[in-house]
Structure 1
Amino acid sequence: MDDPFGRLGISTQSENHKSTVLSLSRDVERFHASDIPFRIFHGNTNSTRPSVRTLAATIDISSLNHVLSVSTSERTCLVEPNVPMDALVAATLPHGLVPPVVPEFPGITVGGAFAGTAGESSSFKYGFFDRAVNWIEVILADGQVVAASNEQNQDLFYGMAGTFGTLGVTTLFEIRLIPARYFVQLSYMPVSGIEDAQEVIQGVADNEDMDFLDGIMFSPDEGVIMAGKMMDRNQADRKLAISTFGKPWDPWFYVHAEQSMSKNGAFDDEPNKTPKSKIHPAAYQDLIPLTDYLFRYDRGAFWTGRHAYTYFLTPFNRFTRWFLDSFMHTRVMYHALHRSGLMQRFIIQDMAVPNKNVPEFSAWLDSELSHIYPRWLCPLKTNETVSMHPHLAPAAQSTDDVLLNIGVWGPTPKHMRQVAVNRKIEHKLKSLHGMKWLYAQTFYTEDEFWQIYDRRWYEALRKKYRVEKLPSVYEKVRTKFDVNANAAPEGDVRLGIEQGFWSLWPFAGLYGVLSVLKGGDYLRKS
């Protein structure tokens, strides 16, 4: 492949990178020659799928965690796959630049965001995270190292996005950057229902000046849509308050957003109705430092952290949030979630549904999972296509076809198993031409999975790039379970938490907390 390092004048860091990639490619070549399927070890995860990874047959890329360069003239950066989002932003922001799409949790890595179809509140404008990638470096299944881009190995370049490392090992990314400002002026617009929310979202999405757009529904008839624009302090209204969300005494963002609804002035037409064409001047606004905005949902993992307070019978107030803050960041919460096995008692799903079917899906959720609120709304870009060439959701041809992401995260109903709830969600999504994001647990049969995604396209890529010995994307993302057994899905559920002594309150939760205090790697098994 062409050497990008010489062109950009990178020295020691690039030499370390090349040495590591060479060693990894030899390991891959050895596995290939021995017909041994391998998996990729990253060192951490923001997936909620149980891990089945073992020490044997593993390619360890956890040391590929550096930002190698930032080019202000080209507005690009060279980044290894295990660079987390907070480190990426910290490296680019001093240059006045930031990636167009920054997933909301600081521990999400560049490789994970690329391989797992990541989006955020700027996705209505820029699409998924992988759309900002210029080219990638890949170790193929036989150990060969190649570059892939829109001009070179184009099919591999587009195939690698969203297929969870099942076509090769991605070891380097060149990412496009955009000019950054140090604040986000955020407007909070109350809405009175899901269709009202859709109307406001569409009106803001048509405004080319906006940089960020998402929403929270707190109940079927109450929510808030939030639209943000990057700016410097001297560009903003001096009267606007500066709000921060990263310090222990700061509010959790969703609490702040809910409180903002009571601060909106009365609108001229209807009290909870925002004009479609613009942001109403009576909408409550504040200024948020850019980094605080990008990672505003880290503390409490949106609002799922509140369930920990309920589980441990702890009051949820400003003092307890301050006192327990070190346990309430996503890196720590994911560690505890995996170690305790409590993820088997939760529904953690992001789902994309065409706009025209959102009201029906929302009403169905209200009938089946009415206890799970808040819900997150994240609009996607018009004409955005989804990785894996799904049959169900073609590129949007009109506003009705544009995908809206709905995040549903909360406890499984007491009368239902997690498997049963997820199966109902999967069937309903299929009927509405929607789909799950595959970072979370999926329970599709293999036939059902390939009725959604383009098997012919995917398997042709696997054959072309000699990847047929590796686990497929279906094998990678599926959750194994026995439909006739009342047991937890297979994976790293070490306590068998849905059965026996350890299912009793509060032992699983305490085990998760103790695992956090102990530290260590919660993915790797001997």
Structure 2
Amino acid sequence: MEAQHEQARSALEAQYAAIPPGEPVRLAKRTSNLFRPRAEAERPGLDVSGFHRVLSVDPQARTCDVQAMTTYEDLVGATLAHGLMPLVVPQLKTITIGGAVTGLGIESSSFRNGLPHESVLELEVLTGSGDVVTATPHGEHAELFRTFPNSYGSLGYATRLRIELEPVSADVALRHVRFTDTDALQRAIAEITDTREWQGERVDGMDGVAFAPGELYLTLARWTDEAGATSDYTGQRIYYRSIQQRSTDLLTTYDYLWRWDTDWFWCSGAFGVQHPVVRRLWPRRLKRSDVYHRLVGLDLKYRVMDRLDRRAGRPKRERVIQDIEVPVDRLGDFLDWFDDEVGMRPVWLCPLRLREQSPVWPSYPLRQGTTYVNVGFWGAVPVGPDADQGPLNRAIEAQVHELDGHKSLYSESFYDPATFDALYDGANLAAVKKRYDPDDRLMTLYDKAVRRR
């Protein structure tokens, strides 16, 4: 495995060196979980197909060496064989470990374990200067290590990572706890984050769904080896509907980790996959987030939704696909505003807190000791002729800022340069980029996230 990695790394360095100065640099990846359009590149991207392997798993040290383009589907397959899992497993199978670090990832263990980059012990990066360096929390490249999360390839591309793992049981017992007001929900999230318990029972994973005002759920997960019949939501049954239908459940750990992937949370409904007849005919192997993502890509390319709306005389829709974080005590404020101004439900809720030993991550500066709640919402809202200007997305950005929150950059952003630099520490990004990309061969984060180049 080590020889294969060195061979792939050498080939990548040669590819990079062959790109003429001034030419745009990007990766050629089989899958993507980004939702921001970008200009078409004239040249093919860097071939990173050789970086898809789990290199080793150390069950005693509870660590894993893994190449950056390895999907979490493959990574989890390798670690579960040892009764271990990454500290945070983002909810979609084709998210790559490198993508979750240079971008951001989150899941139900984030109230205990923070974000995926916090469990990285060592990071190998092809920098903008064409050199490969190994960055750790301390040492010569510590500055790159801290700034790399949320840099989206503006400082370089990860090629290999060493990450922490944690033990996990064979199954996961779930409790779906309903709340009728956000004050009670906020108090419960804060209590569980502090104590890692609810009503005397251990909590290993926590996320939630806000179906409507007054219908709010926290799903509390507990790793267990207790015997029992497990549920299957990869066939006719749909996971998110079960939250409203039952108070307890039992899933295998594998199925729990991918419970949201089968129906892309609830977004598979846009393709008719939740209709009983269509669902029966739709093969299991195609009930996957990457399949739905490709369908969305076709819609964007051929403007199918816009044409159908125009033909039916409906207002043009604005795509509102975002994940934001607000402090837990501002969650109710955000949901109230969101209901009034956007009106999209359900939305996903995922509490998180930075790990106690976590360093400062300047490119996504969450406060140490503060509990946040990620709110995820993905859909399209009738707006009218101004839809292409992103009025709702712009309003969301302003509201999140007002509530002392942050917004992920995997989707469209509209910030002006000064605001963007203030939110994502543009001064530090520029200083680190000057060191590791002195000739500006890589696009800046603002170019990538806002100018969509």
TM-score (norm 2): 0.88
The yes-or-no answer on 1:154 pairing with 2:142 is yes
1:42 offset after TM fit, Å?
2.1
Distance 1:211 1:144, change over 3 A: same
User: Hey, what does 2:194 align to over in structure 1?
Assistant: 206
Identity of aligned residues (%): 30
| Residue number in structure 1 paired with 2:308 | none
Any idea what the Cα deviations from partners look like across 1:100-143, whole Å, max 9, x if unmatched? Answer: 10001111111111111111110000000111111011112222
Is 1:256 the counterpart of 2:239? The answer is no
Give the Cα–Cα distance (whole angstroms) in 1 for the partners of residues 122 and 265 of structure 2. 32
1:189 maps to amino acid: V
Q: What secondary structure, in the 3-state scheme, does the structure 2 residue paired with 1:307 have?
A: helix
Per mean C-alpha deviation after superposition, the further-off stretch among 454-463 and 344-353 is: 344-353
How much does 1:30 deviate? 3.7
Alignment-mate amino acid for residue 185 of structure 2: A
1:223 Cα deviation from its structure 2 partner: 1.7
Runs of 4+ in structure 1 over 6 Å off = 383-386
1:354 maps to which residue? 327
Q: 2:279 aligns with which of 303, 321, 326?
A: 321
Amino acid at match of 2:442: L
Structure that is richer in strand per residue? 2
- Listed as ranges, the matches of 1:365-380 within 5 Å are 365-370=338-343, 372-380=344-352
1:1-20 alignment, distance < 5 Å: 13-20=1-8
SS of the residue corresponding to residue 412 of structure 1 reads strand
1: CA distance between counterparts of 2:359 and 2:320? 26
The answer to whether the 8 Å contact 1:204/1:227 transfers is no
- How far residue 479 of structure 1 moved from its aligned partner, in angstroms, is 4.8
Give the letter aligned to residue 378 of structure 2.
Answer: W
Q: CA–CA distance in 2 between the matches of 1:389 and 1:63?
A: 28
Distance in 1, matches of 2:360 and 2:378, equals 22
Task: Look up the match of 1:437.
Answer: 408
Match of 2:161 in 1: 173
- Report whether the alignment pairs 1:94 with 2:57: no
Aligned partner of 1:104 among 78, 87, 91: 91
- Deviation, 1:307, is 2.4
Cα gap change, 1:386 to 1:349, in 2 (>3 Å): farther
Q: Within the alignment, does 1:448 sit opposite 2:407 as a pair?
A: no
CA contact (8 A) 1:163 1:387 kept: no
Q: Which has the larger radius of gyration?
A: 1
Are 2:173 and 2:221, in contact at CA under 8 Å, matched by a contact in 1? yes
Name the counterpart of 2:395: 424
Q: Using the alignment, how far apart are the partners of 2:319 and 2:282 within structure 1?
A: 21
Rounded to whole Å, the distance in 1 between the matches of 2:159 and 2:377 is: 32
| 1:233 Cα offset (Å) | 2.7
Aligned residue in 2 for 1:404: 373
Residues of 2 paired with 1:15 and 1:51: CA distance? Answer: 35
Q: CA deviation at 1:387?
A: 4.4
Secondary structure of 2:382's aligned partner: coil
Does the C-alpha gap of structure 1 residues 333 and 94 become closer, same or farther in structure 2, counting only changes over 3 Å?
A: same
Is contact 1:139-1:171 (8 Å) kept? yes
What's the counterpart of residue 338 of structure 1? 297
- Evaluate the alpha carbon distance shift between residue 188 and residue 114 of structure 1 in structure 2; reply closer, same or farther with a 3 A threshold: same
* Distance in 1 between residues matched to 2:441 and 2:73, nearest whole Å: 35
Q: In the alignment, is the contact (CA less than 8 A) between 1:117 and 1:387 conserved in 2?
A: no
Q: Where do residues 464-483 of structure 1 align in structure 2 (5 Å cutoff)?
A: 464-467=435-438, 468-479=440-451
CA contact (8 A) 2:63 2:165 kept: yes
Q: Is the 8 A contact 2:149 2:363 kept in 1?
A: no
Structure 1 counterpart of 2:119, from 132, 135, 141 = 132
How far 1:386 sits from its partner (Å)? 8.0
1:80 aligned partner: 67
Aligned residue pair count = 427
Counterpart residue identity of residue 128, structure 2: A
Q: Please tell me whether the aligned partners of residues 146 and 359 of structure 2 are also in contact (alpha carbons under 8 angstroms).
A: no
**Cα distance in 2 for residues equivalent to 1:145 and 1:127:** 27
Letter in 1 for 2:394: R
Q: After the TM superposition, which residues 26-37 of structure 1 pair with which residues of structure 2 at under 5 Å, given as runs?
A: 26-31=14-19, 34-37=21-24
Contact 1:38 1:57 in 2 (8 A): no
Conserved? CA contact 2:124–2:159, under 8 Å: yes
Shift in alpha-carbon separation, 1:89–1:394, aligned structure 2, 3 A: closer
Question: Contact between 1:163 and 1:388, CA under 8 Å: does it hold in 2?
Answer: no
Change (3 A) 1:227 1:441: same
1:410 aligned partner, one-letter code = G
Alpha-carbon distance in structure 2 between the residues aligned to 1:386 and 1:62: 32
SS at match of 1:469: coil
Equivalent pair of 2:353/2:368 in contact (CA under 8 Å):
no
How far the C-alpha of 1:74 sits from its partner, in A, is: 1.6
TM superposition shift of 1:325:
4.9
Mapped pair 1:119 → 2:106: yes
Alignment check: 8 A CA contact 1:369 1:413 kept? no
Query: SS at 1:95's partner residue?
Result: coil
Range 440-449 or range 180-189, more displaced: 440-449
Task: After TM superposition, give the deviation of residue 394 of structure 1 in Å.
Answer: 4.8
Q: 2:57 aligns with which of 64, 67, 70?
A: 70
Q: Is the 8 A contact 1:214 1:378 kept in 2?
A: yes
* SS of residue in 2 equivalent to 1:305: helix
Q: Tell me the secondary structure at the aligned position of residue 233 of structure 1.
A: coil
- TM-score (norm. length: structure 1): 0.77
